Structure 1
Amino acid sequence: MTYLRAAAVGLFALAPLPALAHPHVFAEARLEVVAGADGNVAELHNVWRFDEMFSSSVILDFDKNTDLKLDEAELAELGETMRTSLADYSYFTTITMNGETVDVTKPDVLHVTLQDNQLLVIFAIKPVKPVPVKGRLTFGIYDPTMYTSIDFPTDEDLAVKGEGFGHCQHKVVRPDPDEIIEQNSATLTDAFFNDPTGTDMTKLFATRLELTC
């Protein structure tokens, strides 16, 4: 596999070397799940703030006029590159409906800005099919390659919005990695630790929002 470094946004386009199955890029996130008037989940609103080192590398790679900043055109190009390449990873988004995984649509646009020398990415995505606000629902953001660490600083950064969630109970689950490994030792093989891209087990470690409606 090609090492994720040809360009900063290669993070979203290529897979890392198996030996590098741990985070190298860090982002703080906020996820807001929005209920629609029709009784279904309408959208997932995302805000990601990347670490300064990764943000600096992005500036170097997309600063076409070499003025050491990104203008509107350069930010738009970056957003479109990310919008295209992240599709291969479902925008790091996992949705389950009563245990069934639901994919997401491609967002219309990824809005990218720089604040305090950090890359800020804002976008909204939708489930590919109706997700009724009933039963057991889960929502999470994680990188299946484990190259990027997506962190929610507080439980309030995983939130619901809309009257449709009024009858639901929700909680934020932050799995303990040691417990996950112990509980799943029979299924977490060497293949997982060497190449997590070949498995779907990384979601066990991801912080998630669980709803019971």
Structure 2
Amino acid sequence: MRSNRTTRAPGARTALPAMLFCAALVPAPAQAHPHVWVQARTEIVLDEAKSLVALRLAWTFDPAYSAFAVLNLDSRRDGVPDPEKLAELARSRARALGESGSFVQAKLNGRSLRLAAPSEARAAYRDGRLTLSFTLAPEARGEAVRTLVLATLDPDFYVAFGLPPEADAVRLTGGPACLLKLTRPAREAREGEQIIPDAEATARPAAAAATGADYAGRVLVACP
């Protein structure tokens, strides 16, 4: 499945997620991939004609990255980030995702689906974890869904995307008579688990991509 990302030189592969998430500043037990862990929720919204309206995403980050991301956002020193600063954080992350691709790979009726830049970005910080929520819409809307295949993953495996354990980790809204099938990965990356040495991931990006795919789930929507 092809990503919506802009093609870039192999040497730049790891640099982009690092810049996007600023996670290189977070101490890690070893210099190995991944560096950031995310539990990703997805709501797929279809209209009555079975066309894709939007993907509503909510990414909850690991405690170490969350603490780093909200550093200096608490002007009152009460342990709660300022709402306006959280809002700006959400907007800046959404802009960065729009420039680099949103880590969501999509195929509609067997063809790669181009997604517009994120919108409706917002952030929340609860129980020591940051959650970034945003909406992705197709660049061109109107084609009815026969099959829609989605995966959320970082081909560089700098970020490990996983699924929350709850049954509603992926939901389908609308689309009468359409069916949703979620295939969970055979393996899940535990928070803090180091899987691939950084040098190997840089030298063998295809290996990092394959490993990242092993830890990512797959969503299929089928409509009659």
Residue identity matched to 1:106: A
Separation in 1, partners of 2:184, 2:202? 20
CA displacement, residues 100-128 of structure 1 (integer Å, 9 cap, x when unaligned): 11121123331011111110111111011
CA distance in 2, matches of 1:41, 1:25: 30
Equivalent residue, structure 2, for 1:84: 95
RMSD of the TM alignment (CA)? 3.3
Question: Unaligned regions of 5+ residues in structure 1, if any?
Answer: 13-19, 178-190
Structure 1 pair 55–201 and aligned structure 2 pair: CA distance change class (3 A): same
C-alpha contact (below 8 Å) 2:66/2:129 kept by paired residues: yes
2:206 matches 1:194? no
Match of 1:63 in 2: 73
Partner of 1:45, secondary structure, is: strand
TM-aligned CA deviation for residue 202 of structure 1: 6.6
Which residue does the alignment assign to 1:32?
43
- Work out which of the residue numbers 46, 53, 56 in structure 2 matches 1:42: 53
User: Is 1:169 equivalent to 2:179 in the alignment?
Assistant: yes
- CA distance, structure 2, for counterparts of residue 201 and residue 21 of structure 1: 16
Q: Which residue is equivalent to 1:183?
A: none
Q: 1:208 aligns with which of 203, 207, 218?
A: 218
* Residue-pair matches, total: 191
Letter in 2 for 1:95: A
**Corresponding residue number in structure 1 for 2:171:** 159
SS at match of 1:91: coil
Q: Percent identity at matched positions?
A: 24
2:143 to 129, 132, 140: 132
Higher relative contact order (CA 8 A, sep 6+): 2
Render the CA deviation track for 1:160-193: whole Å, top value 9, x for unaligned: 111x2x323331123447xxxxxxxxxxxxx977
8 Å CA contact 2:23, 2:35 repeated in 1 = no
**2:109 & 2:182 partners in 1: Cα distance?**
17
Taking structure 1 as the reference length, the TM-score comes to 0.74
AA aligned opposite 2:22: G
